[in-house]
Homo-oligomer: A and B are copies of this chain.
Amino acid sequence: MTISTRKERQKEELKGKILQAAKELFMQKGFEDTSIRNIAEKIEYSPTTIYLYFKDKDDIFCELHREGFSLLNQYFRPLAHVSNPYERLKAINKAYISFAMENGELYDLMFIINSPMKSIQKDESDWEEGKRAFSFLVNTVQQCIDAGYFKNMQVEVVAFTVWSMVHGIASLEIRNRCPVVENLNEKDLALKASDMVNEILDRMHKK
């Protein structure tokens, strides 16, 4: 027993090492500019070994994608204890933007990078953590509406708008497509961005 569990554990360890190396390289150089050979070199194994643990390069991506949503949910977790739903919604925005700014390349992996999305979409089972993050937002918006905020608005419309705003800000910032807000460090930018979004929210519900 102990012998085969050791083997199991060692396999798991190597898989973890591959993921760690891939993550670092993806974040450093981006997905396209990271080769299987680069990852292999980093962990001091031959490139083909990686194919014993992952189907292909996209498979590694999917695993990290899942990890990303798991981390996002960790940003969200403490906010579950904010009892006022509107305050919680604002906190979600702030957390989301902080997550995006602090984990730019991971965010990139989750929401911007194109290539292996095809495979993720087919494999709906892996999307779980993503759905969890999103339903946390939707539920919070629903509770806001129940509490009298966002009068006469559909929950999906509000949720999608909020998400669009924060994603828009985050992705424009990450891609440097944003010629307006400049010369700010990461933390100030996250603050300013979430302040902006939350100001809009205030104006939205005070009809």
Closest CB of chain B to A182's CB: distance in Å? 10
| Closest Cβ neighbor of A155 among chain B residues | B180
B160 lies within 8 A of A178 (CB): yes
Q: Are B111 and A177 closer than 8 Å at their CB atoms?
A: yes
**Interface hub of A114, A115, A206 (most chain B Cβ within 10 A):** A114
Do A207 and B203 form a contact, CB below 8 Å, given A117-B176, A168-B168, A168-B171?
yes
Please provide the chain A residues from 130 to 174 with a CB less than 8 Å away from any CB of chain B in the complex: 130-131, 134, 138, 153, 156-157, 159-161, 163-169, 171-172
Residues on B with C-beta less than 8 A from A180 are: 134, 138, 156, 159-160
Interface size on A, residues (CB 8 A): 45
User: Smallest CB–CB gap between A31 and chain B, Å?
Assistant: 9
Pairwise interchain contact B114-A157, C-beta atoms closer than 8 A: no
Judge whether A181 and B161 touch: CB under 8 Å.
no
Residue A188 at the chain B interface, CB threshold 8 Å: no
Contact of A200 with B196 in the complex, beta carbons under 8 Å: no
Asked if A204 is an interface residue, CB under 8 A from chain B, the answer is yes
A2 within 8 A of B: no
Q: List 12 A-B contacts (CB under 8 A).
A: A30-B115, A108-B114, A111-B172, A112-B114, A134-B180, A156-B181, A159-B180, A160-B180, A160-B196, A164-B169, A166-B168, A203-B205
